[in-house]
Chain A
Amino acid sequence: MSSSTHSIAYDPAVDAPKPHHPVYDYDSGPPVDRGKFAIWLFLATEVMFFTGLIGSYVVIRTGAPTWPDPSSRLAVDLTAFNTFVLIVSSYFVVRSLQAIQKGNRGALLKWLGLAILFGSFFVGVQVYEYIHLVHEGSTPNVDLFWSTFYAMTGFHGMHVIVGVIWLICVWIAAARGKYSAENHVRVELAGLYWHFVDLVWVLLFTIVYLF
């Protein structure tokens, strides 16, 4: 070193943290909200989770010597209706976001409430279906069809329950006036998650119930 301007010695006046200084918080990267950025990362992990599940299902099913026709074991009509209910609830979530973007808190509460109602209905029908099946003796330890059925619909069902709870939390916050036309990113985050759960169900319904 040609010249050493640094002193190694500790000087409390220079080196210790100053007791009161402002906190500097910078923004960088793409112009999206941090929460939104994180929720997309989280959804990517969810995609991989369901990829693992669906991949396992495909491997197990193609490896099995025989596989029963789902319609012979499951109430496809009821679940088709249930699928429709879930898709409609996604539409309600879209409407609720549009409402708050215009600053219409009443409409937000209305559409969000409907989405919660429809989501809960979906969970209710699933629980009904489970009770019915278990009562018939169709438990997960019977054969691989039921093993995979419960694993796939069960994990999705848990996601729906989490989604409903999340929407309820947003609804309560909305009722307490937390959101406005300028500040409603949390509505959007919950909505993204809800759409994802909805999308996964369409996929699951297709491969578990229809084929």
Chain B
Amino acid sequence: MGTPGTVREHHEHHELGFIRKYIFSTDHKVIGIQFMMTGLVFFALGGLFAMAIRYQLAWPWHKMPLIGDVLFPETGGAITPEFYTMLFTMHGTIMIFFVIIPLLTGAFGNFLIPLMIGAPDMAFPKLNMFGYWAMIPAIFCVTMSFLTPGHGPAAGWTAYPPLSTVQSAAPGSFSAQTWWLMALTWVGISSMMGAVNYVTTIVKMRAPGMTMFRMPLTIWALMIAAILQLFALPVLTAGSFLQLADRVLHTGFFTPTNLLVNGLNPESMQAFDVAKGHFAGAASGGQPLLWQHLFWFYSHPAVYIMVLPAMGMASDIISCHARKPIFGYKPMVYSMCAIAGLGFIVWGHHMFASGMNPAMGMTFMVSTIMIALPSAIKVFNWLGTLWGSRIRLNTPMLFATGFVAMFIIGGLSGIWMAATPVDIYIHDTYIVVAHFHYVVFAGSVFAIFGGIYHWFPKMFGRMMNDTLGKIHFVGTFIFTNGVFYMMHQLGVAGLMRRTADPYNYETYRHLQPINQFISICAFLLFAWQIFFVVNFFYSMFWGKRANRNPWNACSLEWDAPSPPGHGNFDKKLQVFRGPYEYASPDTDDDNLRQTQEV
């Protein structure tokens, strides 16, 4: 396919039918929007699960409004403990694997990568299409996992064995856990295809003059996230295949010997041999902690997959609406690389209380505490960017700045968890819940909202309503803090996660009023998203038409038509400089675009 610097021009352009254009599309923009729609639908679903969790924590065993009678006739409308377990398992699974990762890498990765580097499409458009369509079996499997009889997967999103492998330990989960594992595998396949495509596209298809250090930080972040996926995800895939084998073939990778579940040995209970009509027995002797290592070897880097693209997008949005170059571009890039590199050697900090060798805990503590450093550098550079800027306080900027504020809180609270002795007390308490929701909800989701408001004109050729957007932001910001800030307090009080009824313990009884406050904030937060939904769909059809560059931005995607057509760019590109030349003295304009000749 030629040597660097060559350009091929082709004129093939044919009208595609509806199905080829919008359903089985190979166009990265359409695939990105497909990922976005899927992600947003699942976001609503995961949010509903969260509401049910909050209802139970505020008013345990009360009749559920609206759906109680339908779902739980046998308890008079109150939730069951099994259902509660399913709720938080599916809330975690859906939010991580069907919302945040598909939205960041699937939606924005697909939409932005070719546009921001000046490519006509991804390197492998068909593979890209399969990447989206691999989500369909994943969605099917995850739906089956809560529609099969019983009570859905019951081992948390971390699926720790033996609870997840020994069927008699979680009688309600039946085949649900098996479906759950297959859903995870399909999501993994989708991510793999995407990641190979992203890295190849970024390395091989940049426009002339677009050197690596002229790429927007979003692209750097997406590339680093893709590399994390490439190297970390296969290990989880291997692990989940082994867990699948434990459930289906009754191997013993994660099942230790001599278990007694409800007084019976599951080794003899499992593996009913239909042909021979007796229990064939299951292997044992495995190690439950092995799964935790395999799981966190992926799922910790996954945290960075969920936050690095958000950091990149926030950087782009802040620089654009602050009308000022990014402060310390290269330190930003290096710190992202450092986060990714260190991200591979910190997984053990999820296992300080697990029974892992305490000496290993000590090394994992040091690496984990050091990962706070590049995060801090990023925060300082965002502050540096804001210093002396000329801020345009519109919705994307509000969300991006909100992201920085929330990331400060989420980042700082992480240091407590990294410190092993402190973690003995706060491990698995609500302070952990507060921490990762500050990073993933108040962090990544804020950046996703900011990204949608910012790139909506490029996606649909229309502006989103700024007033509605501001209303959306203010409520979201207030209620987010109302929900998650108070969770630190619960954690300090020792309240642990995943309990259907904490007030069963004397230690927690006095915490119910705080939980009720949090729940009310959570309901308001959920309801407040109506402003986003209305704005989103209204603007898609009736929003103000946007020109090519409504924000007067510098980066390449704004050189393309709004919305870009087939092949993205209608002129030959030549890149002269980095993507953040706002306020440049070389031009009378406020933005010196990457393609602009001076």
Contacts and interface: CB of A to CB of B under 8 A. Distances in A.
A and B interact:
yes
A138 to B, nearest CB: 11
Contacts of B1: 27, 33-34
B486 to A, nearest CB: 39
A182 interface: no
A142 B249 CA distance: 10
A38 B564 contact: no
A144 B544 CA distance: 65
A29 B206 CA distance: 8
Interface in A1-42: 1-11, 14-18, 20-31, 33-34, 37-38, 41-42
Residue from A2, A21, A25, A37 whose CB has the most chain B CB atoms within 10 Å = A25
Pick from A18, A21, A28, A150 the residue with the most CB of B within 10 Å: A28
Interface stretch (A59-67, A69-77, A92-100, A195-203): A59-67
Q: Among A2, A6, A26, find the residue whose CB has the most chain B CB atoms closer than 10 A.
A: A26
Interface in B232-251: 232-239, 241-242, 245, 249-251
A23 B120 contact: yes
Q: Which of B236, B238, B290 has the most CB of A within 10 A?
A: B238
A52 interface: yes
A49 B550 CA distance: 45
Given A34-B1, A38-B196, A64-B285, A27 B10 contact: no
Interface string B481-518: 00000000000000000000000000000000000000
Nearest to A147: B251
Interface string B209-236: 0100000000000000000001111111
Contact of B547 (A10, A20, A22, A148): A10
Contact of A28 (B206, B232, B552): B206
Contacts of B294: 52, 56
Contact of A48 (B199, B232, B563, B589): B232
Contacts of B7: 24-27
B384 interface: no
Contact-residue size bin, chain B (C-beta under 8 Å from the other chain)? 35 or more
Contacts of B573: 24, 26
Given A14-B548, A38-B124, A41-B196, A59 B287 contact: yes
Q: What secondary structure prevails in chain B residues at the interface with A? A: loop
Contacts of A41: 195-196, 199-200, 230
Interface string B565-586: 1110111110000000000000
A52 B297 CA distance: 10
Contacts of A33: 1
Interface of A: 1-11, 14-18, 20-31, 33-34, 37-38, 41-42, 44-46, 48-53, 56, 59-60, 63-64, 139-144, 146-148, 150-151, 155
Ranked 3 nearest A-B pairs via Cβ: A17-B565, A52-B238, A147-B251
Given A24-B569, A25-B8, A140-B251, 15 more contacts: A15-B562, A22-B11, A25-B9, A26-B5, A27-B3, A27-B205, A28-B204, A29-B203, A38-B200, A45-B230, A52-B297, A56-B253, A140-B283, A141-B249, A141-B250
